Amino acid sequence: MDRQEEFVLRTIEERDIRFVRLWFTDVLGTLKSVAVAPAELEGAFAEGIGFDGSAIEGLSRVYEADMLARPDPSTFQVLPWRGERPGTARMFCDLRMPDGSASMADPRYVLRRALKQASDLGFTFYTHPEIEFFVLKDVPPPGGQPIPVDQGGYFDHVAHGASQDFRRAAITMLESMGISVEFSHHEGAPGQNEIDLRYADALSTADNIMTFKTVVKEVALEHGTYATFMPKPFAEHPGSGMHTHLSLFEGDTNAFHEAGAPYQLSRTGRQFIAGLLRHGAEITAVTNQWVNSYKRLWGGGEAPAHLTWGHNNRSALVRVPMYKPNKGNSTRIEFRSLDSAANPYLAFAVILAAGLKGITEGYELPPEAEDDVWNLTDAERLAMGIDKLPGSLGDAVRIMEGSELVAETLGEHVFDFFLRNKRSEWADYRRQVTQFELDRYLPRL
Amino acid sequence: MSLPGGTSRPRAASVEARLARLGFVDPIRARRMLDDPAMTALVGVADDRDATSIALVEAMGRTSDPDQAVLGLLRVSEAVAGGALRDDPEHGTAALVRAVREDDVARLRLTAVLGGSSALADYLVSHPRAWRAVATAQRRTGDELRDRLVSAVQPATRGARSAYDALRIAYRAELLAIAALDLTSPDPVADLPVTAEALAQLAEAALEAALAVAREEYGPGHEDCRLAVIGMGKTGGGELNYISDVDVIFVAEPAEGVGEDRALEVGTALATGLMKACSATTGEGSLWPVDAALRPEGKAGPLVRTVASHVAYYRRWAKTWEFQALLKAWVSAGDRAVGMAYKSALSPMVWEAAGREHFVEDVQAMRRRVEGLLPAGEAARQLKLGPGGLRDVEFAVQLLQLVHGRYDASLRSATTLEALGALAKGGYVGRDDAAELDEAYRFLRTLEHRIQLAKMRRTHLMPVSPIELRALGRSVGFVADPASEVQEARLRRSRNVRRLHERLFYRPLLSAAARLSTDDSRLSPEAARARLAALGFRDPAGAMRHLESLTLGVSRRAAIQRQLLPVMLGWFADEADPDAGLLAFRRVSDELGTIHWYLKMLRDEGSAAENLARVLGRSRYAADLLLRAPESVSFLGDPAGLAPRDVAALTAIMRNAAGRRDRADEAIAAVRGVRRHELLRVVFADLVGGMGIEAVGRSLSDIAEATIEVGLEIAIRSVEHATGEPVPTAITVIGMGSLGGRELGYASDADAIVVHQPHPGASEEVAQARALAVVQELIRLLAVPGAEPPVGFDTDLRPEGKNGPLVRSLESYAQYYARWAQTWEFQALTRARCVAGSRELGDALIDLVEPLRWRPGGLTPTQVREIRTMKARVEAERLPRGADPRTHVKLGRGGLTDVQWTVQLLQLQHAYAVPALRVTGTVEALTAATAAGLLTPEQDRVLRASWMLASELRNAGVLWRGRAVDSVPADVRDAGGMGRIIGREPGAPGALVEEYLRVARRARAVVDDVFYGAAGELGAK
């Protein structure tokens, strides 16, 4: 047993923890949880907890045997939920095959594999997400409209606003779980909030995002409200994205930084962006995995729908933020299409793979887009060689089908499951008759 | 240089001749050095050398490199004379002269070191005081070495020197002494264990001294931690090289009244300090790198742990190789009580390792790693790595220790040679084998030592230059032609070691099974079973019974098999199913054991036994075929035995066999016997002859074709016999499907249609009736149960399918195709090829279908749509219930059918204009389509890859399971066995599914584009 495990077992004893929740994530990014008693934990560390993977989305058996969930002791946290006395703790799990090898269906393993590829090239991958979400008065009944909890705007300080209390409570709880919060504010739309997590390695960040979503929903419930990460709940307001700052480190040095280069951006950084642009359309089905995601992407405003990059250009897919002098290690790029309803493990894996491809193949970075891409005409965009992101989930899936990059990154099993699942989601959606159609066509047709 | 006057020339020649005889390579230069004034005190002057001087020259002549020895002695005496040391009573010139001239032992040692190692000679020149360490060398105990090194680094002793320098100088003095004793040993090979142990003890002493240095550096508070240094690897085993990393593990416990965290903190600082004290490079160089990577969690783990933390790690997480490493653990330095606590806590676990899950798999993987470690290009010169290397011996001994040491405490030595001796004593390996290996190991290690000594470099490679080889040969006592003698001696040992697994692992099993060993100390039945299990046999008790049955008794057969089986067991153990292989071999031997050519062939024909063992261990299908007719193995005795026969030769042999029988059933049995023999030949050629999937398909088609040809002849004779008159019509069999395409698999049916043509004047009705009778008889004959799988003769592709007549006249075909045929039938005709019966009639039918299948203008749009629709329906309906479309290699996504239909569509559309497309084989057609620009090279590559892999997997399924397997197996064992057959690395069964899914996905994308004419619409799938 290593020290981490000893620490976990000791803490459980000292803090009188009666249940440990073992968390893992299915292929679509839903958090799954198995509760075990502390007595079972030693066995879980040694051998894992067996479960029937066929019952869970995307974990269908590759081989004819049960799967094992093996907790990662470095993710141990006591859960600060109110009313949970005696205490409960959680750990994230890696999914294993009965022979101990990693399960090809485990999103965490997909990300681990991608990170391994980066580390083989000498890189560590750091991410820093800005997570947007709406807080609603309640879950609307079927057919009803969502009602935001306040009417504030960007950076508004809403006096005695429910959002204020809510954010404070959420941040307190996140911090108590060891997740550092960088920044939080009211976002542009009523009821919309943004909380930025501090940068960390991609695997920790993905774990943190999963925790974050649970915490935010939990706190909202405690406040009698409802939090949602749906990308675009209101047609008239901006949607909820998850702009994510990315950087690669080689040892202690930021591989994106080069003093004196344009925007202090190194060749590695430029190639990484070039990779994101070239493969951006292929990975969109993963970074924006729901029908609703495309309502946000194509809803105008600050959503990036075109494969461009720019400096402080808020319509670009990749933005190079303003450089702060003498902070070489803070050089980073911001990837803006991602939404907070993606499976963060898979999304980080494909983003990283696309960027690394740019580096290993030595892609050239196209010229930067200085204009607001939304204001260009189609002919102008054509002339400038600006491609667009897929227009719908259907488009995105079709483009992903042909992508070797995504297949290799996700592995054939996850790749195939994901495509099948998303094709059928798209087919279900196409069968719908929407309010829009009724309102528009019934009166005149 | 003083050369005395006129007489010098003739005398010089004779002096030089004598020097050359003594072994000096450059006697002129050697003589010049002997005549150097600096040497006068040692060897006198040129014309006046006394007996002592001559003895000195002769002593130099006995060293590995006399030229180097004389140069070294000159340099050392200059160094002694030229510095402050000159008048030192113990180390000065006078003392040196006295030692060299008056002390026989000192003389030999000094010359041996100077001649044996240019690096040590250099050291003596830069540290002339050290010559006394060479001259006065004595064997010291470990404790003495420890005392000397530890006291050398104490501030009081070391004076102005830094502790690091003091450590290095004291260490080198002892190293010189060890080298002096080693190089003057009358039998260095016999003394190897002593030398290696001395080197290990010296390393341990240095660790102890380095720890003292680290404690001093840490200053007050260092006593909070009780630190033990556990030697691992060759240090722990007491069998170190001259130059080697020193492997260690650190164990710390708190001193009384100190917290654990504090102790670990101090311990980490001390361990780091110790490592630095040994490995840092100062003006005095460095000792060696201290490597702590064998610790729990390797380089990622904490450098220092408590005993309890080690125990917890090994109990839960340690892998088999970590236990193997622990075999060597030895308390080398530091706190003995802590070290002993560590050892006594962990050693029980080492001996339980063989009972852990995955032990067998781990061991096999480790074996592959040991054998695969060899860098290309060094193979011929490597002493350490690769098959036949030192590492191989060490590994094999350790493995046997792990397997048997569990129950026999006498085997638990950390030292390779001791353990080997104990294994022999306990009967776990044969005494003679052990003795021979022991000698080989000592010899190879001695060479390694000598090579390292020469330049004091860490190397395990035989030198290449003639000079170095000569010195190496002389250093181990070869005189006449040292360079080639030493190479020859080394090769002989390496060859011996290479047969090590046979000797160590398998031969004792045979002695146990045969109960013939005269030793009382035979491998016990329990030990034999434990070993078989460790080697990968899943049913050791069964395997033991088979071995007994094969080897018991005094028959010639048992004697020869006792000789063969040790090697064959190794081959079985390498294959996916060792138990099945051994069982099948036993059954074949039971059948054939008394036949003289069988055993002779296995014993004398180079690869016959290996091929047999590998095939039986790999393929149940082959074992089944062979057991029905064991005499077929005779082709293994024929050098060209794995070359398949062509269809003409096969037909002739079958016809001959059938001709000798009157009754149809007997005749077909003879034909089928030939078929079985040929099938087996193809299986062997496939499994061990690297035949390749396309050649296998052609050969299987040839066999089917010849069988049908001769079967048809028998059927005709049979009908003629029954009716008493000649059959009044010519009959021809047209091959379709994969028979037509010459790409049959082991489990494929032979698709065919049959046509007849009444002889002029014959009644059409009678002709039709007789032709039908012939076909029915043919079908019956081919389906008779026999010693080999029946030929699946399938005529469902005939006009009107199952409702149509089994045979039609040529005219009837013409009418049918002109009026009724549907598009799918034209598609089926793309593969039509005459395979048996009247060629004339066959040609006529082919002429008839030619304009149908290669229709001028290609397909109409309606026809294209029909084919696509039909395919889409087949995809949806034909897949068996419960089959996964992703992994079904025949009908699944991107599988065989997908590729075939795509190719056939291109043929139907374009062959009228592109004659090269008018072929029946899928691969040939692919090549032609690409050459004609109908497919891009990339599409060609993708389709071909999928077709190949899917075909290989189908065949591998039959070979492995003995019956058709249509999906990539979901069972790990099946995946492993099939993967092995198609040449994938063992040990990664999951990779096979992943590989097939990838290949098939790519193929499906091409099929969507080329066959369906677009990327599939979303939701359509």
Express each pLDDT in B588-632 by its tens digit. 888 887 777 888 888 777 788 888 888 999 999 998 888 887 888
pLDDT of residue B376: 59
**Section B936-955 average pLDDT:** 95
CA of residue B996 relative to chain centroid, distance:
25
CA nearest to A413 within chain B: B994
CB contact under 8 A, A412 and B994: yes
CA distance B449 to B462: 11
Whether the pLDDT of residue B337 is over 90: the answer is yes
Is beta strand A316-320 parallel, antiparallel or unpaired with respect to A333-335?
A: antiparallel
Distance from CA of B1011 to the nearest CA of A (A): 17
CB contact under 8 A, A412 and B997: yes
Whether the pLDDT of residue B1016 is over 60: the answer is no
Chain A residues touching B998 at Cβ < 8 A: 407, 412
Mean of the per-residue pLDDT values of chain B? 87
CA of residue B965 relative to chain centroid, distance:
29
The string of pLDDT tens digits covering residues B440-462 is 999 999 999 999 999 888 888 88
CB contact under 8 A, A64 and B886: no
Per-residue pLDDT band for B517 (boundaries 50, 70, 90) equals: low
Closest residue to A64, CB basis, from B970, B990, B1015 = B970
Contact status, residue B483 vs residue B471, Cβ threshold 8 Å: no
Whether the pLDDT of residue B1020 is over 50: the answer is no
CB contact under 8 A, A398 and B1019: no
The string of pLDDT tens digits covering residues B795-839 is 988 888 888 899 999 999 999 988 888 888 889 999 999 999 999
pLDDT of residue B808: 93
Whether the pLDDT of residue B374 is over 70: the answer is no
Distance between start and end Cα atoms, chain A: 72
CB contact under 8 A, B315 and A1: yes
Distance from CA of A65 to the nearest CA of B (A): 9
Whether the pLDDT of residue B3 is over 50: the answer is no
Chain B residues touching A413 at Cβ < 8 A: 994, 997
**Section B356-360 average pLDDT:** 73
CB contact under 8 A, B1018 and A398: yes
Residue A218 three-state SS: helix
* Higher-scoring residue by pLDDT: A48, B372: A48
pLDDT of residue B47: 73
Nearest C-alpha neighbor of B978 from the set B986, B422, B1017: B986
Which positions of chain A have pLDDT values less than 50?
62, 64
CB contact under 8 A, B1018 and A104: no
Residues of chain B whose C-beta is under 8 A from some C-beta in A?
296-297, 301-302, 309, 312-313, 315-317, 358, 886, 970-972, 990, 993-994, 997-998, 1001, 1005, 1015, 1018-1019, 1021
Per-residue pLDDT band for B7 (boundaries 50, 70, 90) equals: very low
Nearest C-alpha neighbor of A220 from the set A305, A261, A162: A162
Contact status, residue B613 vs residue B573, Cβ threshold 8 Å: no
The string of pLDDT tens digits covering residues B469-487 is 999 999 988 888 888 899 8
CB contact under 8 A, A398 and B998: no
* Higher-scoring residue by pLDDT: B881, B334: B334
**Section B763-792 average pLDDT:** 90
CA distance A352 to B240: 47
**In the block, which residue shows the tokens 């125990």?**
B311
Among B973, B998, B1018, B1021, the strongest candidate for a mutation testing the A interface, having the largest count of A CBs within 10 A, is B1018
**Which residues does A41 contact at the CB level (< 8 Å), separation at least 6?**
A8, A9, A12, A20, A71
pLDDT of residue A302: 75
**Which residues does A310 contact at the CB level (< 8 Å), separation at least 6?**
A316, A318, A319, A320, A368, A369, A370
At B206, which helix (H) or strand (E)? helix B188-218
**Section B343-356 average pLDDT:** 86
Chain A residues touching B1021 at Cβ < 8 A: 423
CB contact under 8 A, A423 and B1019: yes
CB contact under 8 A, A394 and B1018: yes
* Higher-scoring residue by pLDDT: B515, B118: B118
Maximum Cα interatomic distance, chain A, rounded to a whole number of Å = 72
pLDDT of residue B514: 67
The string of pLDDT tens digits covering residues B26-75 is 888 988 888 888 888 888 877 777 888 888 888 898 899 999 999 999 99
Is beta strand B246-254 parallel, antiparallel or unpaired with respect to B304-305?
A: parallel
CA distance B562 to B545: 14
Is beta strand B750-758 parallel, antiparallel or unpaired with respect to B793-794?
A: parallel
Angle between helices B608-618 and B578-592 (to 10 degrees): 130
Contact status, residue B383 vs residue B462, Cβ threshold 8 Å: yes
The string of pLDDT tens digits covering residues A375-433 is 788 888 888 888 899 999 999 999 999 899 999 999 988 999 899 999 999 999 999 99
Chain B residues touching A97 at Cβ < 8 A: 990
CB contact under 8 A, A426 and B296: no
pTM of the model: 0.71
Distance from CA of B996 to the nearest CA of A (A): 9
ipTM: 0.73
| φ and ψ of B837, to 5 deg | 90, -160
Nearest C-alpha neighbor of A213 from the set A193, A233, A231, A227: A227
Per-residue pLDDT band for B651 (boundaries 50, 70, 90) equals: very high
Q: How many CA atoms lie within 13 A of A376 on its CB side?
A: 21
pLDDT of residue B600: 81
pLDDT of residue B352: 84
